[in-house]
A and B are shown apart, each in its own frame.
Chain A
Amino acid sequence: MITIQHLSKRFGKLQVLDDVSLTLLGGECVALIGPNGSGKTTLIKAILGMVVPQSGTIFFKGNPIGRQWEYRRDIGYMPQIGRYPENMTIGQVLDMMRDIRKMPEAALDKELFDMFELHNMLDKRMGTLSGGTRQKVSACLAFMFEPEVLVLDEPTAGLDPVATELLKDKILTERSKDKLIVITSHVLSDLDDLVTQVIYMQDGHPLFHKSLDVLKEETGTDKLGKAIAKVMAKDAAGKGVTV
């Protein structure tokens, strides 16, 4: 569904993305992991057209995205930090997005909206909400328009345990509908039962792109966190660094 070819991006002298080539297919749930500053968010932003790469192309359903904007109709994005205009109410934010996407009321996916019980808070201003509640609004917006691709940047950061479980269930439901889901997270334990594929980024370059099962088999572990730790240890040993 998304093909990335030789994508490179530099901010000044800093090489943030270095020759990234990836293929992401529908029905998969991809975990994008890596240390801070490894280019995960920049990669996501490039897919969404927020960052313009110096070289390389991204194809969305076979078409290069260039400076197109229509393709974003099929993407739902949940940002890492959701900040909204302070005096807008939750209801207004939802209305505005509905106006932008022009989707009939009946076609909307309001499952998360109901599960998070946002209908009691429609008149609350965004400026008065806690970080977690704003994350809930962001999650609702990402899932509401039944997009074929979901891009979730640190979705569980700031959510309470109950909401985290609800969101994870929702992600699993969407995965079974043949959608492509891309998640970045530092909480590897959250990703364990969700993802099917793992991309590990380091210094702007994907170190590997494997399915979770293969990764677990290769490292002989049953948890994503342990597997990644093993891979990193092996990598460090290969470079002659002791861990």
Chain B
Amino acid sequence: MNKIVKYVIADLLRSRTVMVYAAALLVLSLSVFSIEDNADKGVVSLLNIILFVVPLVSIIFSTVYLYNSAEFIELLVSQPLKRRTIWLSIFTGLAGAVALAFLIGVGIPVILYAFTPSGIILLLCGMLLSVVFVSVALWAAVRIRDKAKGIGLSILLWLYFALLFDALVLFILFQFADYPIEKGMVAVSMLNPIDISRILILLQVDLSAMMGYTGAIFRNFFGTGWGMAITTLVLLLWVVVPAWFSTRFFERRDL
């Protein structure tokens, strides 16, 4: 398997998009950290940008790459290789390249300016989030044959996770404000990998006090070892489940 991964990563790391992405993250993080004097404040400012940009770039770039590689994937399928191996190699290559770009772009400033628990959690979450959205892109690209429609779907998915989901949650919150739904909110937040990352990091920087009673419930859940373990597991599920579904689909699909 790693014989394909090696070449896919080498190809991706030389792509201009990945380089520009890493450089842009680097400039962005460096400037945010040099504006904010407090490391935690820097992490929070950076968090909002990262939670917006990382999923967007990961999902769109991966989808476009997959459609552009259609003929290359066909050629690989005509070789003595299992389809599962091919698909998982491409997934690993894409995830590796996007996560590495993030690690370079945000990791260096974090190590320089904010080598704190919150900074490290930000790094880990950002990398996991990159992989999650590559996995979601894989699923979108394998289900839809048409390139334009596929890219459209991945933009919609990003819009949903980044904006619409929060709007829906707010709507529910206001509608059921009179009921004790705080515990339910913990469960609902698990449905969105971006929200999980946001909560995890905000709790690290003691901003939960700003979130009122729900914040306290979150603190009680996410602040404990168990809560952290479950959250990490859920994030990993967000990687595995779309990747697994897309692999299953790819194994049966006509090329």
* Chain A residues within 8 Å of B, Cβ to Cβ: 11, 45, 48-52, 67, 69-73, 75, 77, 79, 81-88, 92, 95-97, 99-101, 138, 141
Given the interface pairs A52-B254, A72-B80, A92-B10, the reply to whether A79 lies near B75 with Cβ below 8 Å is yes
* Complex contact B3–A100 (CB within 8 A): yes
Q: Are A72 and B4 in contact (CB under 8 A)?
A: no
- Are B3 and A50 within 8 A (Cβ)? no
* Interface pair B79/A97, CB less than 8 Å apart: yes
CB within 8 Å of A: which B40-61 residues: none
Q: Does B254 contact A51, Cβ atoms closer than 8 Å?
A: yes
User: Do B15 and A87 touch (CB < 8 A)?
Assistant: yes
B residues with CB within 8 A of A? 3-4, 7-8, 10-12, 14-15, 68-72, 74-83, 251-252, 254-255
Q: A residues within 8 A CB of B15?
A: 86-87
* Residue numbers in B under 8 Å from A100 (CB-CB): 3-4, 76, 79-81
| Total CB contacts across the A-B interface at under 8 A | 80
Residues of A within 8 A of B82 (CB): 69
**Contact (Cβ within 8 A) A48 B4:** no
CA distance A140 to B197 in the complex (A): 48
Q: Contacts A11-B254, A69-B82 hold; do A87 and B14 have CB atoms under 8 A apart? A: yes
In this complex, the member of B15, B70, B71 whose beta carbon has the largest number of chain A beta carbons within 10 angstroms is: B71
Among A52, A95, A100, the most chain B Cβ lie within 10 Å of the Cβ of A100
Q: List 22 A-B contacts (CB under 8 A).
A: A45-B254, A45-B255, A49-B78, A50-B74, A51-B254, A51-B255, A67-B251, A69-B82, A72-B78, A73-B80, A77-B75, A79-B75, A83-B71, A83-B72, A84-B71, A84-B72, A87-B14, A92-B10, A100-B76, A100-B80, A101-B79, A141-B75
Across the interface, A77 reaches (CB within 8 A) one of B70, B72, B78, namely: B78
Q: CB distance A85 to B8 under 8 Å?
A: yes
Given A52-B254, A83-B70, A92-B10, 11 further pairs, Cβ under 8 A: A69-B82, A72-B80, A73-B80, A79-B71, A83-B68, A83-B71, A84-B72, A85-B7, A96-B3, A97-B79, A138-B75
How many angstroms between the C-alpha atoms of A72 and B81 in the bound complex? 8
A101 touches B71 (CB 8 A): no
